[in-house]
């Protein structure tokens, strides 16, 4: 008999998983090519390589975001050859087998396309747990970054706006006093022609300074949209009429192409009218010797929505072109900057306000050169906005 202190050794109990072998997966259940089609149609970019450094998978989104041309022959080629034109991505993939803690939810700006991607790099392991390859998943975050930058810009403008508004109010009152006192002196010194000329100049300069102050106040003031369903054609035609009262049209011909089936958009009619009044006025002023202004509107299909963005549906694009002298290439990037102007008497706030209104409508505005010479402005606005409709 064994002593009380002795212990009976028992064989370790086998787990259910060990006692019961796994049932093999029937490959016939999944059609051939299903996984290939699955990866190819993902909305994220996928690049997978084998342990010996050859491309196993690369879907359409990956080619598009990386700015590469899709080629079926890339499968099986060394990834160093396939990704040689995107060295920043090549370096990430090349380090997949050299580091133990792979990056998760990292971001990178591609130098080739200037796009921002968010990516995750993971190992592919076989049934024995050995590393058989690596996979890079990534998504284009460029639009998300643009939206975040727009919000940061709005915050900075709000802080700057409070300061500018306070300064503008303080300057506006003395300007009004100067104008009033100069007017009184002008009425009292009717006999002196020199005094009349000087005082007229003082009043003129005071009015100009006051107009700039008012534009500054308008630029820094937060935009509060009164959104309603409006017809783009009505906005454009009202803007043309308003522009003709702000600038001399002369012999400039205005051609308008507004399709009847253009969908109505949600927006603030007063603010949108201000956009096109400014653009048409600028076109009139640029063509002092006559010319042609053309306004063309068209409906566009929706864009691929960014995360957290709901209004990436149908769009309406309005192009305003003229055959004037055009915008010099060296100032093209600065044309929407506040206080930048090429006009002798301009304040530099007109196009800055235009861009602010477009941003408030979740749209975008681009400037370029018209084929054959001249200036081209494209305003793209969503048909449906995230703002609440006004009463």
* Alpha helices per DSSP H over the chain: 16-19, 34-40, 60-66, 79-82, 87-94, 142-188, 193-220, 232-246, 269-286, 350-360
**Cα–Cα distance, 112 to 201 (Å, whole number):** 55
Give the CB-side neighbour count of residue 301, counting CA atoms within 13 A. 1
CATH topology of domain 225-391: Heat Shock Protein 90 (3.30.565)
Residue 305 contacts residue 312 (beta carbons within 8 Å): yes
* Joined tokens for residue 280: 């048409």
Which CATH number describes the domain made up of 142-222?
Answer: 1.10.287
Q: Write b or e for each residue in 38-76: b if 16 or more Cβ atoms lie within 10 A of its Cβ, otherwise e.
A: ebeeeebbbbbbeeebbbbbbbebbbebbebeeeeebee
Q: What are the sequence ranges of the domains in the chain?
A: 31-140, 142-222, 225-391
* Joined tokens for residue 72: 């079926």
- The series of mean pLDDT values per 10 residues for the chain, 391 residues long, is 50 50 56 74 88 91 89 91 90 84 81 84 88 90 72 69 73 83 87 87 85 73 82 92 80 88 90 92 81 90 49 82 82 75 67 86 87 87 73 51
Q: Would the pTM of this model clear 0.75, i.e. be above it?
A: no
- Phi, psi (deg, nearest 5) at residue 242: -65, -40
Which CATH number describes the domain made up of 31-140?
Answer: 3.30.450.20
The answer to whether 31-140 and 225-391 have equal CATH topology is no
């Amino acid at each position: 008999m064994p002593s009380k202190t002795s212990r009976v050794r028992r064989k370790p109990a086998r787990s259910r998983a060990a006692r019961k072998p796994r049932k093999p997966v029937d490959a016939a259940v999944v059609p051939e090519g299903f996984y290939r089609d699955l990866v190819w149609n993902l909305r994220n970019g996928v690049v997978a390589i084998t342990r010996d450094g050859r491309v196993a998978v690369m879907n359409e989104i990956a080619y598009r975001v990386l700015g590469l041309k899709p080629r079926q022959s890339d499968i099986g080629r060394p990834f160093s050859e396939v990704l040689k034109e995107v060295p920043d991505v090549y370096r990430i993939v090349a380090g997949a087998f050299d580091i133990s803690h792979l990056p998760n939810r990292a971001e990178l700006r591609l130098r080739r396309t200037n796009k921002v991607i968010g990516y995750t790099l993971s190992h592919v392991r076989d049934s024995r747990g050995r590393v058989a390859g690596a996979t890079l998943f990534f998504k284009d975050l460029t639009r998300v970054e643009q939206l975040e930058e727009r919000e940061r810009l709005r915050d900075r403008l709000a802080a700057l706006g409070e300061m500018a508004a306070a300064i503008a109010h303080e300057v506006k009152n003395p300007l009004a006093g100067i104008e009033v006192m100069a007017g009184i002196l002008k009425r009292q010194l009717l006999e002196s022609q020199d005094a009349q000329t000087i005082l007229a100049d003082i009043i003129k300069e005071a009015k100009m300074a006051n107009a700039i102050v008012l534009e500054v106040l308008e630029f820094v003031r937060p935009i509060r949209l009164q959104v309603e369903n409006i017809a783009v054609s009505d906005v454009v035609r009202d803007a043309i009429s308003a522009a003709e009262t702000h600038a001399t049209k002369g012999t400039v011909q205005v051609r308008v192409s507004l399709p009847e089936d253009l969908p109505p958009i949600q927006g603030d009619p007063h603010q949108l009218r201000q956009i096109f009044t400014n653009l048409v006025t600028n076109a009139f002023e640029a063509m002092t010797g006559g010319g042609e202004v053309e306004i063309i509107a068209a409906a566009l299909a929706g864009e691929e929505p960014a995360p957290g963005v709901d209004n990436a549906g149908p769009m309406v694009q309005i192009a305003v072109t003229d055959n004037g002298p055009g915008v010099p290439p060296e100032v093209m990037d600065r044309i929407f900057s506040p206080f930048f102007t090429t006009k002798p008497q301009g304040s530099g706030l007109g196009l800055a306000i235009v861009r602010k209104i477009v941003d408030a409508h979740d749209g975008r505005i681009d400037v370029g050169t018209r084929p054959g010479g001249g200036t081209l402005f494209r305003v793209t606005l969503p048909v449906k906005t995230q703002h609440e409709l006004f009463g």
